[in-house]
Chains A and B, each alone.
Chain A
Amino acid sequence: MIASADITTYLASPKLADAGYLLSAVLFILGIKGMTHPRTAVRGNLLGAVGMLIAVLVTVVRLGLLPVGLAGGAMAIGAAIGWVLAVRVQMTEMPQLVALFNGFGGAASLLVAGADIAQRESLVTVVEKVADKVQPVAPNFALLAAGAAGLIGAVTLTGSLIAAGKLQGIRLVDRKPPAGMQFVSGVLAVSSLVLLGLMVAGYAWAFWVLVGVAAVLGITLVQPIGGADMPVVISLLNSYSGLAAAAAGFLIQNNVLIIAGSLVGASGLILTNIMCKAMNRSLANVVFGKLEPSAEGPSADEVYEGKIKATSPEEVAMLLDGAQHVVIVPGYGMAVAQCQHTVRELADELENRGATVEYAIHPVAGRMPGHMNVLLAEADVPYDKLKTMEEMNPEFSQVDVAIVLGANDVVNPVANTDPTSPIAGMPILEVDKARTVVVIKRSLSPGFAGIPNPLFAADNCLMLFGDGKKAMVDLVAAVNEN
Chain B
Amino acid sequence: MTTFTIFVLAIFVGFEIITKVPPTLHTPLMSGSNAISGITLIGAILAMQADFQVAWLAPTLGFVAIVLAMINVVGGFFVTHRMLAMFKKK
Specify whether A and B are partners. yes
Which of A's residues lie within 8 Å of B, judged by CB? 1-2, 24-25, 28-29, 31-33, 35-39, 41-42, 44-46, 48-49, 51-52, 55-56, 59-60, 63, 65, 70-71, 74-75, 77-79, 81-83, 85-87, 89, 91, 94, 97-98, 101-102, 104-105, 107-109, 111-112, 114-116, 118-119, 121-122, 124-127, 130, 135, 234-235, 238, 241-242, 244-246, 248-268, 270-271, 274, 361, 363, 368-371, 373-374, 377-378, 380, 382-386, 388
In the complex the two chains form, is A75's CB within 8 Å of B43's CB?
no
List, in ascending order, chain A residues with CB within 8 A of B69's CB.
78, 104-105, 108
The answer to whether A104 and B33 touch (CB under 8 A), given A112-B65, A118-B57, A119-B58, is no
Number of residue pairs across A and B with beta carbons under 8 Å? 390
Query: Which residue on A lies nearest to B13, using beta carbons?
Result: A29
In the complex the two chains form, is B78's CB within 8 Å of A87's CB?
yes
Output the least CB separation between A81 and chain B (Å): 5
Picked from B49, B64, B81, B89, the residue with its CB within 8 Å of the CB of A111 is B64
Q: In the bound complex, what is the Cα–Cα distance between A455 and B42 (angstroms)? A: 53
Picked from B6, B21, B50, the residue with its CB within 8 Å of the CB of A119 is B50
In the complex the two chains form, is B70's CB within 8 Å of A79's CB?
yes
List, in ascending order, chain B residues with CB within 8 A of A115's CB.
44, 47-48, 50, 57-59, 61-62, 65
In the complex the two chains form, is B40's CB within 8 Å of A126's CB?
no
The answer to whether A252 and B86 touch (CB under 8 A), given A1-B51, A78-B71, A124-B54, is no
List, in ascending order, chain A residues with CB within 8 A of B15's CB.
266, 270
Q: In the bound complex, what is the Cα–Cα distance between A111 and B24 (angstroms)? A: 34
Given contacts A37-B22, A251-B43, 9 further A-B contacts (CB under 8 A): A78-B70, A98-B30, A98-B31, A108-B38, A108-B68, A126-B46, A245-B37, A258-B3, A361-B23
Output the least CB separation between B74 and chain A (Å): 4
Q: In the bound complex, what is the Cα–Cα distance between A107 and B63 (angstroms)? A: 12
Q: In the bound complex, what is the Cα–Cα distance between A86 and B73 (angstroms)? A: 11
In the complex the two chains form, is B34's CB within 8 Å of A386's CB?
no
Q: In the bound complex, what is the Cα–Cα distance between A119 and B65 (angstroms)? A: 15
Q: In the bound complex, what is the Cα–Cα distance between A265 and B33 (angstroms)? A: 9
List, in ascending order, chain B residues with CB within 8 A of A374's CB.
27-28, 83, 86
List, in ascending order, chain A residues with CB within 8 A of B74's CB.
78-79, 82-83, 86
Picked from A70, A85, A265, the residue with its CB within 8 Å of the CB of B48 is A70
